[in-house]
Copies of this chain bind each other. A is one copy, B any other.
Amino acid sequence: MRVGVVGLGIMGAPMARNLLRAGHRVVVHTRTPGPRLDAVVAAGATAVGSPGDVAAAVEAVVTVLPDSPDVERVVTGPEGVLAGGRPGLLAVDMSTIAPAVARRLAGVAAERGVTFLDAPVSGGEQGAVAGTLSIMVGGDAEGFRRAAPIFAALGTQAVHLGGPGQGQMTKLVNQVVGAVTLAAVAEGTLLARRAGLDPEAWVRAVGAGAAASWMLTEQAPRMQRRDFTPGFMVRLQQKDLRLALHAARELGVPLPATALVHELFAAVEAAGGGALGTQALLTALERLAAAGDA
């Protein structure tokens, strides 16, 4: 299949390589040429000058961009995907953006005969590199079937959640559940440390029962050895929580724990930790504890 990739950041670049590895012909565009683009071209991709040029050359375009305005520009802009693409094109946006924007773009695309899917992912950079992403898809069922070879190259699971925007909505649910679960682990970790519990033993004991989670197994050890290198950066988490809180507000859903965690992450950002991994949430609690000591 001829597949385009627009956006070659921390996620898009390894995804392009996995599409090449699966045997697809890959055409790419990025606003920021550099080593990531060079590596993808060296692996066999063709670079072109605009998202529209990508769309003109392929059957399906994958966009992997930071936020809603980026995707709007790349899809509907003057040199964008819809300007360059023919009717019948499949546009698969794998960025995390507002569900309302995804719904609007699906409508605009449909007017041009283009099928737009929202297909955000979880699994982070590691998942993008290993091709083990979990892909949450909203949009047309026939489009979901057509995108199957793309999803197979990028992830271990693609679930069709409903119509336009429902993939993004599921991603926001994912971010809510993940962020608050991380807070659970951060509070437990600080309590365990102040109580003098063995770092390995308490995680093993707690991880055997109803408090078990991916966050406990993966992030409590990192917190305990003060390894705050990013798998997933605090400021990207904050972007996603803003989207989630906004969508929830529109739906009349209160998310008090999510809002609290959003504030705790704001404290991490205020202390200069926006580029740290989300496990640095621990440091916000530590600062509260230190303030209490004063």
Give the interface of A toward B (CB within 8 A): 99, 122-124, 127, 134, 136, 156-157, 159-162, 166, 169-170, 172-181, 183-185, 187-188, 190-192, 194-198, 201-202, 204-206, 208-216, 218, 232, 244, 247-248, 251-258, 260-261, 264, 285, 288-289, 292-293
Name the residue among A127, A211, A213 with the largest chain B CB count within 10 angstroms: A211
Give Cα distance in the complex from A252 to B174, angstroms: 32
Interface pairs (27), CB distance under 8 Å: A122-B208, A122-B210, A124-B210, A134-B209, A136-B205, A159-B205, A166-B195, A169-B192, A169-B195, A170-B202, A173-B191, A173-B195, A174-B209, A176-B187, A177-B185, A177-B213, A178-B209, A180-B181, A180-B184, A181-B211, A181-B213, A187-B255, A194-B248, A195-B251, A212-B213, A252-B293, A256-B264
Give Cα distance in the complex from A209 to B160, angstroms: 16
Q: In the assembled complex, which residues on chain B have CB atoms less than 8 Å from the CB atom of A136?
A: 205
Copy tally for this chain in the complex stands at 2
CB distance from A152 to the nearest CB of B (A): 15
Do B134 and A205 touch (CB < 8 A)? yes
Give Cα distance in the complex from A282 to B1, angstroms: 45
Q: State the majority secondary structure of interface residues on A.
A: helix
Do B210 and A215 touch (CB < 8 A)? yes
Do A177 and B184 touch (CB < 8 A)? yes
State which of B124, B160, B166, B253 has its C-beta within 8 Å of the C-beta of A191: B253
